[in-house]
Chain A
Amino acid sequence: MSAGPEPPTHKTARPQGEGPGGAVVLGCDTCGAVIEVAAHERGAVCPFCATATVVERAPLPDRPRPTFTIGFAFGEADAARRARAHLRRQWLAPEAVRRPAAIELRAVYLPAYLWSAAARSAYAVTIGEDYEIEEEVEVEVEVDVGLPVAPGGDAGARRPERRPERRIERRKRTRTETEWHEVSAQHACWLRDVFVTASRGVAPAELEAIQPFELRRMRRHQPQLVAGWPAEEPSLARAECEQLAWRAAEDHARARIARQLPGDRWRELRVATRLDEVTLDLVLLPVWLASVPGAPGARVLVNGQTGAVGGKAPVSRTKVALQVVLMMLVVAAAAWLVKG
């Protein structure tokens, strides 16, 4: 990374006023043009002189100031390549979506809460321990008893047929059985480094699909990290994000418990988790959003830091119908072969 001779000047000013719906009205610091920054946005670029302005609103319980920002490291061209490659892998999508003539790509600093907590869980599970038993079984085997000798050893006689004989034999066999035990215990751990979305525009599953982010490259929030790039304000209330965090916590705690279960196998895992000492900190995450013009169901997210891709594409009814027909043909062919 190249470094300038001095830190940049952060010129700070008060907004000129409020527009409709909580928008901020400000005068461009370079050309004086009046710019309106919508309520859900954190900055704007002057359409006349391209000066990037960052708006730091007064913090509210549902709209805190970001604590950290993860800067973009993936450019537009790389993100577009990843998005197109992801769409190509959606075999059931219409061809116009799999190989689009054009895609619309938009960068956004997505607000998300980075949460951590002490998770205490009580769990009960049925654990299976395998053991092997040796047993004797009767099996029917074919024994070749040899060729019958042709009478007189006549060279011109018809070649006699083999006469396999069926016999019952007793053989030893090892069988694996499972002994089941009920286990219940307590589990406690720090749950950390988990993000939940604070934006109505991006569903929790969509954000989950492009994680993880490299948190060692995370920086304390500074306006210069988002200058000139669209950045969103949280659009989900903090209480809603806490609910999402709760659900994520239950999943994470369950996964941690499942990873360390003893035995050879397990079933019926029941977990009740209590969270203590919960903290949520707002982080701006770099995300590229790709959409296909004319295909409203197609949306791809690209992690602006690592390039991880996730997203969904609409399903082609024709392709699904063809697949069903193909499967039915395969099943019919297999049945015919077995019967034959």
Chain B
Amino acid sequence: MSGALEPASCVRCGATVEAGDARCAVCALVLDAPAADAAAHVVVVRCTVCGAAMRYDERAGAARCAFCGCAARVEELADPPEQAGWYATRPVSPDDARARFAAWIGARGWLAPGDLRDRARLDEVRAIWWPAWVFDARALVSWTADSDAGARRARWAPHAGQCELAFDQLPVAASRALTEAEARALLPSYRLGEDDLAGEAPGDGDVVEPFELPRSAGRDRVLDAARATAAARVAARHVPGTRTRRVHVELLLRDLRTRRVALPAYVLAYRYRGKLYRAVVSGHDAATITGAAPRSPWKLALLAALALAAAAAVAWWLATR
């Protein structure tokens, strides 16, 4: 499924508004206020079962009938669980993923066991779709920071400023199945334009990881990501000097558009000497692979011994100098 309909926008800040929203998630503008009957009227809330007049009950959080105990349904503000509306294309096939894994396992570096390539047995290649938010926005960023520019006797000098930033197709991982490091390694491999997110819905054998957050918590994560990205960009491009600390940003966000996407990947479970490891290949770009690999305990011990010997040699040299 792909989100073909143009979503509604907040008239004040331009952020995407979704069905059931009572207020804009960015600027808190009240949306879609129900039309009020202009004429004065009186209302008696009556039970539909026994007809008795009902009264609000604080334990039920709704009007409750004192005679038959029925509680009225109350309209809650919508905060449904997130669901992917866009699926990224998956140009990488399972065979491509296997081939990439074969190359990757043979190039695990000097610390890997010498027989890793021959003895690693691939148990399973599973196609998964993992969840992420992709957002676009622009922001007026007010920033403050300390840097070495303009410092006199102290190491730091204060700076403050304001700049316009644009966030284009910024992904934020929402997966719990992938580790943070795996998600971070995979994210740059996905192209996130309109065409790249027009993939087909997953097949029967595919695992689709759900978003495990309600809408409001998801928005908080996106806003946190926008702040973190803005702070990193400000520190890199706008704060003068070569060293910075205490970079703070405040965002006046406009036109926030968030898409909930499912990103394809292959999880390759493999065994080495009976122990299970896994690698993950991007479903968008077979060159991107991340994962865990065993290390040779003998080589690790040798490395530790060499480090100790080097430390002892330095200590001896310092002592006899």
Contact = CB atoms under 8 A, between A and B. Distances in A.
Interface stretch (A93-101, A205-213, A216-224): A216-224
B40 interface: yes
Interface stretch (B71-79, B99-107, B186-194, B204-212): B71-79
Given A11-B43, A71-B61, A262 B250 contact: no
- Bin the interface of chain B by size: 35 or more
A24 interface: yes
B60 A2 contact: yes
B290 to A, nearest CB: 35
Contacts of A75: 58-59
Interface in B113-153: 140, 142, 144-146, 150-153
Contacts of B27: 116, 118, 190, 192, 277
A111 to B, nearest CB: 15
Given A2-B60, A277-B12, A52 B55 contact: yes
A186 B142 contact: yes
A3 B71 contact: yes
Interface in A254-299: 256, 259-263, 277, 279, 281
Given A12-B41, A73-B58, A188 B74 contact: no
Interface stretch (A124-132, A150-158, A244-252, A331-339): A124-132
Contacts of B22: 68, 218, 220
Interface in B242-276: 246, 248-253
Nearest to B155: A131
Interface stretch (B157-165, B277-285, B300-308): B157-165
Contact of A226 (B41, B56, B70): B56
A262 B145 contact: yes
A315 interface: no
A227 B36 contact: no
Interface residues of A, number: 83
B4 interface: no
B296 interface: no
Given A7-B48, A216-B79, A224-B62, A65 B153 contact: no
B292 interface: no
B195 interface: no
A88 B71 CA distance: 37
Interface stretch (A140-148, A163-171, A176-184, A318-326): A176-184
A54 B44 CA distance: 6
B141 to A, nearest CB: 9
A318 B44 CA distance: 53
Nearest to A8: B72
B216 interface: yes
Contact of A4 (B29, B47, B158): B47
* Residue among A3, A127, A261, A262 with the highest chain B CB neighbour number at 10 A: A262
Contacts of B77: 216, 218-220
B158 A262 contact: yes
B33 interface: yes
Given A130-B154, A225-B74, 13 more contacts: A1-B62, A8-B48, A9-B46, A11-B43, A30-B44, A51-B53, A56-B37, A71-B56, A129-B154, A186-B162, A228-B56, A260-B250, A262-B144
5 contacts: A2-B60, A3-B71, A55-B43, A190-B253, A216-B77
